[in-house]
Structure formats: C-alpha cells, structure tokens
Amino acid sequence: MRRGLLGVLGLVGLLVVAIAVALGIGTWRSSPRPVAVAPADAASIDSEAVAGRLAGAIGFRTVSSLEDVAANEAEFDKLHAYMAQHYPLLHANLKREVVGRKALLYTWAGSDPAAKPIALMAHQDMVPIAPGTEGAWGVDPFAGTIKDGFVWGRGALDNKGNLFAQLEAIEMLLAGGFKPQRTIYLVMGDDEEVSGLRGAQPIAQLLQSRGVRLDWVLDEGLLVLDGVLPGLNRPAALIGLAEKGYATFFLTLDTAPGHSSMPPARSAIGQMSAALARLEATPMPGGIRGVAREMFGALAPEMSGINRVMLSNLWLTEPLVRSQIEKSPSSNAMLRTTTALTIVRAGNKDNVLPGRAEAAVNFRVLPGDSIDQVEAHLRKALGDDAIQVKRYPGNSEPSPISPTDSAGYRSIQEAVRQTFPDAVVAPGLMTAATDSRHFSILSDSVYRFSPFRVKAEDLPRFHGTNERIAISNYVEAIRFYRQLLRNSAQAAQGVQGTQ
C-alpha cells in the first residue's frame, strides 16, 4: 500500500514538473520581440493652429437623425464650407463629390493607375446630447472650447477628431509636395450614427459601380487603451479586424384577456417572463476563438507576471482565463454573441389580465455566428412555441474578418509603432458598428482604428458627457495619418516594413 501511494505521489510530482516546464516554455516562447521601425516623419505640427481648427469644426451641430433625413442640413453645409476654407491645397488637388445628401467622397488621384487604391474613412455626423445631461457638461458641448490642454465638445473623439486629423495630414503632405503613387479615397459619411445607409453605403456602391477594388480601408474603431487591460504595463493599440453584427427580435405572446379576480394558472405576463428568464440564463456559446484569440496571442508576450503565464498557455488555462474574462461585460462581449433583453411591455390596468405580452431582445452577433443561428438559439432557449418571433428589418450580419498578414494591416501597424512607440499593437474585435461595414464589398482588408489614447475613465465620453481630446494626442493622430499615407501611398505593393 505504502509503495503504491508513493508511486502515485511520484506520478503526480512528475506531472506537476512536466506542466511547470510546459508553462515555462509557453511563456518563454511568447517573450516580447523587439521590433525595428523606420523613423517617423518628424516635420513639426503647429499644435495651437490644428487644435483651433478642430475646435472651430465642433461648432457645427452636424447631428444626424434616423427619421428626419434633412436634419441639420445647413450645419453640414457650414461644415463643408469651413473645410474648403481651411484646407485649400486639399480642395485644389483632390476631386470632391457630394453623395446622397451631405456625404463626401474625395479622390486624390495617384500617379500609377495600375496601383490598387486605398480609402480612409471618418464621419461628419455626431450623436445628440442625451436630454437631461446638458448640465453635466463642464463646457458648452457645441462651443469648441479649448481648456486645460484639451479640445472639448461633441465630436472631438467621435468623429471630427479623425476627420480633421486626416485633413490636416493631407494638407501638410500637399504643402511638402507629396504625390501619392496610388489613388487615395476619403470617405466622409453624414449618417454613420444612424446606420450609414444614406452616406457610406451609397459611396461604396458608387465606387463599386466604377469598378474600384480597394487594397485596404481604414475607418474609426478601436483605440490606444492606456491602463485598461489588466496585466499590461504599456498602452495597447488595437486594430479592429471585424465588427459584430446586430440582430433584434420582437416577441409577442397572445392569450385570452380576462378579469383579474379569476386568473388562469398562467398569465401572458408570467408565461413571457418565464421564457425571457430561460433565454437570459442560456447565453450563446462562446470561447477564446477567432479575433479574441489573435488579440490575446499578440498581447500575452507584453504582459507581466501571472497574466503572461496564463495567456501564453491557453491550451491549459483556457477555462480559467475564460471564466475571468466573462466576468466583465465588455470583455465577455468579445467571446460570444451577447443577449440583451431591451423591451418588455404588457398590461395597462391593475385589475385586467392583458391579452398580449411583448418584448424585444437585442443580440450582438460574433463574427462566425449568423442571424439564422441566433434565431434558432432564441427559439430553443425561449422554449415556448406560443411566442411569435419577428426580426427587426434593420438587422445586419457580422462583418467578415480582415487578415493580419495583408499589406494594409502591416502599413497601419507600422504607422502605429512609428507614432505611438510606447504602445503594443494587437488585432481586436469591434463590438459596436461603424460605416466601414459597408466597404466589405470593395475590399477583404477593412480595418477599424482611431489613433486616440484613452484611459478607462475616458470610454464613457464617447456618445457621453464631456467628450474631449488632448491637444497632444490630436497632434499624434495627425502624425499617425501622415505617416500612414507616407508608408503606403508610395509603395503600391505594400510597405516593406518590419513584422
């Protein structure tokens, strides 16, 4: 008996040693590798002047509306005039077209017609100030205030910051005599915040009708996250490879209405509630797969301590890592199609049993899942054939996943390393929707990245209160776009950059 026990203990000991060695190897193999980057364009940028021009643009209330297609048209016109006034070289050298109502397409023709063109995107429109939150702003959200080293106001980050950083970068390149070898398109939608169906989508269709295929596309997207990801001591610049789909379903349950003095065993409310509770308790299956796996693979070597060991050895640690990730709603959203119960409605009199109960469920669909699969899951999880299920007509499938081994990804990655040398670059998944999804008909390489540094406390500023951008960061954003165009516009075959 004694000998047997010792044998088992010995085996266990051996196993522990083997696992420790494997973990060590996994962690060592994921050691950070130094990357050499070419020096960036060092031409100086007048921070006061560029901040002033961005602040001026915030004064135009280009708020888009889903129902009212003509909303704020005069404000868009003023914005257009302002752009023409302040970026004269750009307007003299690029072809400008108005598409739909107020969307803009600029074409900067390249010298080599055989070189595949690229597109930079940014939208002109903004979300409104949520009613009741005006007073929480420290400044007037439409005044374009410059204070404490920041440009404040609606649109500073989303998305006039991107749009004007692109304009500044191109104006500077033109002033320096820069001529692109390949054609560069600038795509500026006017209704991104309400679907992009009137702006970005018609522009994509217009380019398609002209036979254009794009080498790659860059739109707004993931950010340079500072101190947001646990275990990472450096900022993480995440380049979005894909975005989730959107699927809302409306549920209806009809039963016999009646007097509340003689209720049946199951009321419409009770029956609907039970089904919704079953649905919420049955999340769509998830896992560290696809883009999420690529992201952790890229970040793991840069992590410290236990986080690096855990993320470098997912073959063993996945269940543990996964349960940690699932605890936070924002990171859980990267692992699965999420289920959100958003509307429930029934009854209008305290002593009447309603004959109908209604609800809405909103799913954000992970690339790899489809709306059909979501509907099948929904029906099964509700487990009640009496509930009618209807799809919202505006649903959209998840985008395709863009590759990380493309010239476009390498160009963007190189430009990020040149302009944000302190950051780790990694691919990521966009959990919200952008105009770029309309461009997957023109290119397999569609990326989503905004060159903005944000800390955890800055994330609620998007679509929220006290939106602002640091002037120093705005200058970095201009450098980023300028560098990106330098890296990619001349070398039509893609940058010969480092990996």
Coil, helix or strand at residue 239:
strand
Q: Which of 249, 246, 229 is nearest to 237 (CA)?
A: 229
Active-site annotation holder among 125, 220, 243, 476: 125
Token pair, residue 250, equals: 């409306």
| Cα–Cα dist 403/409, whole Å | 7
Nearer to Zn ion among residue 220 and residue 226 (C-beta): 220
All residues at 6 or more sequence positions from 49 whose CB lies less than 8 Å from its CB, including other chains: none
Measured from the CB of residue 192, what is the shortest distance to Zn ion in angstroms?
A: 5
DSSP state of 301: G
Measured from the CB of residue 159, what is the shortest distance to Zn ion in angstroms?
A: 4
Q: What are phi and psi of 364, to 5 degrees?
A: -110, 115
| Cα–Cα dist 79/89, whole Å | 17
Q: What are phi and psi of 340, to 5 degrees?
A: -130, 120
Number of H helices, E strands in the chain: 14, 17
Residues in the chain, total: 499
Q: Which of 224, 159, 165 is nearest to 193 (CA)?
A: 159
All residues at 6 or more sequence positions from 296 whose CB lies less than 8 Å from its CB, including other chains: 288, 311, 314, 321
Nearer to Zn ion among residue 80 and residue 123 (C-beta): 123
Q: Specify whether 68 is catalytic.
A: no
Measured from the CB of residue 276, what is the shortest distance to Zn ion in angstroms?
A: 31
Nearer to Zn ion among residue 194 and residue 346 (C-beta): 194
Angle at alpha carbon of residue 487, lines to 481 and 492, rounded to 5°:
120
**Interface residues with Zn ion (CB under 5 A)?**
158-159, 220
Q: How many CB atoms lie within 10 A of CB 37?
A: 15
| Cα–Cα dist 445/121, whole Å | 14
Q: Which of 409, 133, 383 is nearest to 278 (CA)?
A: 383
Nearer to Zn ion among residue 30 and residue 159 (C-beta): 159
Nearer to Zn ion among residue 193 and residue 476 (C-beta): 193
Q: What are phi and psi of 465, to 5 degrees?
A: -95, 150
Measured from the CB of residue 273, what is the shortest distance to Zn ion in angstroms?
A: 36
Place of tokens 């936070």: 328
Which residues on neighbouring strands pair with residue 237, listed in sequence order? 224, 425
Nearer to Zn ion among residue 369 and residue 435 (C-beta): 435
CA 404 to chain centre: 16
Place of tokens 């990357």: 35
Instruction: Report how far apart, in Å, the C-alpha atoms of 322 and of each of 103, 285, 325 are.
Output: 42, 12, 5
DSSP state of 466: S
Q: Specify whether 158 is catalytic.
A: no
Nearer to Zn ion among residue 51 and residue 430 (C-beta): 430
Measured from the CB of residue 435, what is the shortest distance to Zn ion in angstroms?
A: 8
Measured from the CB of residue 89, what is the shortest distance to Zn ion in angstroms?
A: 26
Active-site annotation holder among 192, 215, 220, 302: 192
Nearer to Zn ion among residue 158 and residue 243 (C-beta): 158
Coil, helix or strand at residue 41:
coil
Nearer to Zn ion among residue 170 and residue 223 (C-beta): 223
Amino acid at 394: G
Measured from the CB of residue 219, what is the shortest distance to Zn ion in angstroms?
A: 9
All residues at 6 or more sequence positions from 187 whose CB lies less than 8 Å from its CB, including other chains: 103, 104, 105, 119, 120, 121, 122, 200, 203, 435, 439
Residues annotated catalytic, as ranges: 125, 192
